[in-house]
Amino acid sequence: MVEEHYDPDLAIVAPPSLLEEEDEGSCGAPPTEETSPFGIFHSIALAFPEKASLAERTSMLNLLASLSLNYPTEAGKEKLAAKLEEGTPDVSGRAGLVELMCNLEKTIDPYATCDPVKVGL
């Protein structure tokens, strides 16, 4: 049997109250570190291989397409879809994916401080 445990670093914290669209951060979520929608995607990008296989590239393209369909706000969905339609995203390896994730986050939230150097590349 697998022992369950709680890791607060992995928890997604709900906002303290319901927010109206105009009260939310520009990414559609309360602007806090605990609820950053892009946190998991930056982690995935940093764990991506330096040179991705065909299967890994295909899987990542599917994930990105899903992100633009399942983002938590309509405005975010539209912005991501438009950005991804500009051309084929660089998912050839870690460096390109980290940069792509930062660019996608800045598309959603122009005030995002994402920088590939700062996120670990």
Q: Higher pLDDT residue, 79 or 114?
A: 79
What's residue 108's pLDDT?
A: 84
Other Cβ atoms closer than 10 A to 48: 22
Instruction: Write the secondary structure of 34-84 as one string of H (helix), E (strand) and C (coil).
Output: HHCCCHHHHHHHHHCCCCCCHHHHHHHHHHHHHHHHHCCCHHHHHHHHHHH
**25: pLDDT strictly greater than 50:** no
Q: Higher pLDDT residue, 119 or 43?
A: 43
User: What CATH code would you report for 22-108?
Assistant: 1.20.120.310
CB 67 within 8 A of CB 27: no
**38: pLDDT strictly greater than 80:** no
Q: What's the pLDDT tens digit per position in 95-112? A: 999 999 988 888 888 888
